[in-house]
Amino acid sequence: MTRASNRACSSPRAATRNKSGPSNRSDRATHPALLVIGYGNTLRGDDAAGPRVAEALEALRLPGVQVLACHQLTPELAEPIAQADRVVFVDAAVAPPRKVRLRRLTPRTTAQPMSHATDPRALLTLARELFGRVPRAWWLTIPAVRFDFGESLSATTRRGIALALKRIQRLAADFLPGRPAVGNHSRSPGQTDGITKRRLRGEHPQGCPRGGL
């Protein structure tokens, strides 16, 4: 979804840390095995799917997993993305099919001018241009049907969030800390490792279609 706010990303536990002291979770994950970025407007119904996934995932405290919840994607995310071994972007989508979709992402061939709000592929490109490193990345979209003001979610999106959490947990289990990554980050964009082929069936979107405005 396209965002209109400049609110920065943070760990879902940021508010708790401010009140009770340093976190013992995300602050340690300087170079996480898996970075999950859930983004969306938490005050517009189903558009909150990404942040809701981030909150639920943070509560699981999975080893090697760092979680960020964002209102929108911004260029500042390029640095934590470059530091991660792998990254999953989680967002709501109104475009069919109405099912949870997990797709492989690659950077754009060339860098393009960026506004304050950006998209996953542009961020991968920026990480490559600024930090010389691009993690393997996926785009996880959750079906959304309601975008009126409020924090309630539709049944469709609630089911999608539950399934999205299971998908991420399976990825995290494949990439436990201490288990060597399959392949390397210098592979060509079209190549995938065996795990990725089984999980994602080699799907490489050429763009990052947005669900709507």
Task: Provide DSSP, 155-191.
Answer: HHHHHHHHHHHHHHHHHHHHT-TTSPPSS-TTS-TT-
More confident residue, 29 or 129: 129
Give yes or no for residue 146 having a pLDDT over 80: yes
State residue 68 phi and psi, 5-degree precision.
-130, 135
* Res. 55: pLDDT tops 90: yes
pTM: 0.72
**pLDDT at 64 > cutoff 70:** yes
Region 170-191: what's the mean pLDDT?
56
Can you list the domains of the chain with their CATH numbers? 31-179+190-200 (3.40.50.1450)
Helix (H) or strand (E) holding 195: helix 194-200
Provide the 3-class DSSP secondary structure of residue 65. strand
Nearest alpha carbon to residue 169 among 60, 37, 31, 38: 60
pLDDT in tens, 9-25: 777 764 334 333 333 34
Tokens of 133: 């490193």
Q: Is the pLDDT of residue 74 over 60?
A: yes
Contact 205, 139 (CB under 8 A): yes
Of residues 21 and 126, which shows the higher confidence score? 126
* Per-residue pLDDT at 177 exceeds 60: no
Q: Of the given ranges (10-24, 100-114, 195-209), which has the lowest mean pLDDT?
A: 195-209
Band of pLDDT at residue 6, cut at 50, 70 and 90:
very low
